Amino acid sequence: MEHTMPENSIMSAIHAGAKTLARPFMRLGFIKSGLRGIYLKRRLAFPSMVQIEVTNTCNARCIMCPHQKMTRTKALVSGELVSKVVQECAANKDKVLTFLPNHFGEPLLNPRLPEYVAQVRAALPDAEICIFTNGALLTEERGRALIEAGLDLINISFDGFTKETYEKIRVNLNFDEVNANVEGFIKLRNSMGRKKPLVNLAFVAMPENIKEVAPFREKWTRLADTVTIGTFCNWGGEIPGEVTSSVRNTERRPCTRLWSHMLVLNNGDVPLCCQDYNGENLLGNVVNSSIAEVWHGEKLERIRKLHLERRFDALPICRDCNFWQQQNEPIWWWE
């Protein structure tokens, strides 16, 4: 005799089986939701990355950089402003993971840079302190001072393997001098018996130098601690062409810098992000307020909300920006 199961029993069995199969994924969803809450709560407490512009002057005229378009007053940051920022970071040292004493300029043009690095090191013993430099002013004296100050990482922008290519991109700089400075700095650090600062050679790939990526990587991998090959940012959509058009053809996601990073310009102004090199989208000024007040302010909260809603067109500087593509955090943080 053939036994058959009632239709409603069959459906019940199917639903039960489906629920059993889905349970691990449902549990993962709860875990992800919980982790997201913890993650965002920590992020919103205080920026994990704090950056202060020690100068906005530069000794180079790189072809991919809009520095010549900058209309802000060129100046060195004041020691008082550095101290104010560092003191507030020290009060939140369990939250600050990275500190960068530079932005839209060559940091080695500020003679007090080693002093500022040492000040940050004393206040934030566990934070990573790093700078970005073109290396043209990285003399033995400056290099030794930075090593002794406690710098953790030095990123040296070096966009060519040959003199001809390098000097076509890094206008006003001398390939031979910079090459000697970088090699000399690595030798100096090693001779001092130090492991830090780590040396990263940063190569921005573009049509002018793309054929030199392989030999560049081969040479500097043997000498430096790390080598990074990246693409240039379009400074909030200012640089037209393939870079900007690729942003339009890529699925956008929120820029995680809004939850992690605060930049203070040399006069205390806080722009929306590091791509706002002219300080045209200001969130506040830490001379008259605090990092925390700006971080929790209405302006930044509104912009975060726009990003979460994927309303990037509402922000001209964000609309065609490609900087978010360089961030690699899991997308489910923001879903």
Give residue-wise pLDDT tens across range 75-85: 999 999 999 99
CA neighbours closer than 13 Å in the CB half-sphere of residue 302: 10
Round the average pLDDT of the chain to a whole number and report it.
85
Among 33-42, 100-109, 168-177, 281-290, the least confident range: 33-42
At residue 252, the pLDDT reads 74
Question: In the predicted model, is pLDDT for residue 8 greater than 50?
Answer: no
Give residue-wise pLDDT tens across range 26-75: 455 555 556 656 666 666 789 999 999 999 999 999 988 888 888 999 99
Among 26-30, 117-121, 179-183, 222-226, the least confident range: 26-30
At residue 313, the pLDDT reads 85
**Alpha-carbon distances of 291 from 11, 84, 90, 95, rounded to whole Å:** 58, 10, 12, 13
- pLDDT (mean) for 106-134: 98
At residue 2, the pLDDT reads 42
Beta-bridge mates of residue 200:
155, 226
How are beta strands 49-52 and 261-264 bridged, if at all?
parallel
CA neighbours closer than 13 Å in the CB half-sphere of residue 84: 18
Question: In the predicted model, is pLDDT for residue 119 greater than 90?
Answer: yes
What pLDDT band is residue 94 in, cutting at 50, 70 and 90? very high
At residue 282, the pLDDT reads 95
Question: In the predicted model, is pLDDT for residue 205 greater than 80?
Answer: yes
Give residue-wise pLDDT tens across range 162-203: 999 999 999 999 999 999 999 999 999 999 999 999 999 999
What pLDDT band is residue 319 in, cutting at 50, 70 and 90? confident
CA neighbours closer than 13 Å in the CB half-sphere of residue 222: 5
**Which secondary structure element, helix H or strand E, spans residue 220, and what is its range?**
helix 213-223
Residue with tokens 């879903």: 335
Give residue-wise pLDDT tens across range 296-316: 999 999 999 998 888 888 888
At residue 30, the pLDDT reads 54
Question: In the predicted model, is pLDDT for residue 150 greater than 50?
Answer: yes
Question: Percent of the chain beyond pLDDT 90?
Answer: 64
CA distance 283 to 44: 15
At residue 17, the pLDDT reads 52
How are beta strands 226-231 and 198-205 bridged, if at all?
parallel
At residue 66, the pLDDT reads 87
CA distance 79 to 28: 49
CA distance 127 to 121: 8
- Higher-scoring residue by pLDDT: 335, 80: 80
46-333 adopts what CATH topology? TIM Barrel (3.20.20)
At residue 303, the pLDDT reads 92
Among 134-138, 173-177, 231-235, 248-252, the least confident range: 248-252
- pLDDT (mean) for 96-114: 97
Task: Tokens for 45, please give them.
Answer: 């407490």
Question: Percent of the chain beyond pLDDT 70?
Answer: 79
